[in-house]
Amino acid sequence: MSSRFIRSGTLVAAAFFLLIAPFARGLADPDVSDSQGGQEYQKKAAFLCKFAKFVEWPSHKFTQPDSPLIIGVVGADPFGGLLEEAAQDSRINDRTVTVRHVESMEELRKCHIIFVCRSETERLGPILSEVRGDNVLTVGETEKFTSRGGMINFVMVGADVRFQINDAAARHAGIKIRSQLQQLALPSSR
């Protein structure tokens, strides 16, 4: 597993560099027209839709076997419709994927996955604590997201989208993240 560490080390360094970069640009609103950013969020949208394939929720989370999977976007939507496109093409078994822009805390609890946008970095704590007992997979894209109780955090490694996983948080929320997915995860930064 030594190679894994070596590789992880380099990845950590790269991730660190990339995580710093947006701040350097002064938290600019990501633009969908930006080709690199567009590709980034296209991937992230696809990833969001595909996470469900490697995640198991408690059965009571769905009213029907074919109940749609609900992805809630919290905050300023950086996808610009890409997520809806991805959801349109996605099927998780018999389920369709629905995207909602969450306006209230009430809505949060009904979602299976919530994506906490960068805009909500400051309110991350309350949001996470709001859905803590409701079997919601929390996905973010901000630094320290996992360490603050988030479950999956997107990280950019060069042009590639990678992610960190906080399995303990997921398990705590009654969500099972399959090992295949966990294998892909970058180590969480503390």
Partner 1 sequence: MTWFPRNIPIRRKLTLVVLVSTTAALLVASAALFAFQVYTFRQNFMRDLAALSQVIAANSTAAITFQDADAAKEILAGLRVKQHIRNAFVVLPSGKIFTRFGDDFGSVPLSEYPAQTGFRFMGADLLQTQEIRLDNEKIGVLYLRSDYGRVYGDLLHLYMLTLAVVLALSSGIAFAISSQLQRVISGPIQNLAETARVIAARNDYSLRAEKMGADEIGAFTDTFNHMLEQIQYQDATLQAVQNTLELQVKEQQHEIAERKRAEEEIEALHNQLVEASRHAGMAEVATGVLHNVGNVLNSVNVSSTLLAERLRKSRAPNVERAAELLRDRNGGLARWLTEDEKGRMLPSYLAELGRHLSTEHAEMTTELELLVKNVEHIKEIVAMQQNYAKVSGFTETLPLEKLVDDALQMNTAAFERHRVKVIRNYENVPNVRVDKHKVLQILVNLLRNAKYAMEACRERRIELHIHRASAAAVRITVQDTGCGILRENLTRIFSHGFTTKKDGHGFGLHSGAIAAKEMGGILTAESEGPGRGATFILDLPIAEPNTAAPANPANPA
Per CB under 8 A, residues contacting partner 1 are 3-4, 7, 43, 47, 50, 53-54, 91-93, 160-163, 178-181, 183-184
Output phi, psi for 28, to 5 deg.
-60, 145
- Work out how close the CB of 93 gets to partner 1 at its nearest, in angstroms, rounded to a whole number: 6
d(C-alpha 152, C-alpha 182), whole Å: 10
Select 32 or 181, whichever has its Cβ closest to partner 1. Answer: 181
Q: Please identify, using beta-carbon distances, which residue of 35 and 180 lies nearer to partner 1.
A: 180
Answer whether 29's CB lies under 8 Å from 76's CB.
yes
Cα dihedral 8, 55, 90, 118 sign: negative
CB of 122 to partner 1, least distance (A): 29
Nearer to partner 1, 54 or 121 (CB): 54
Give the separation between CA 68 and CA 94, rounded to whole angstroms: 8
Min dist. Cβ of residue 29 to partner 1 (A): 26
111 is written with which tokens?
A: 């979602």
In the complex with partner 1, which residue's Cβ is closer, 94 or 103? 94
CB of 54 to partner 1, least distance (A): 6
Amino acid 47 reads F
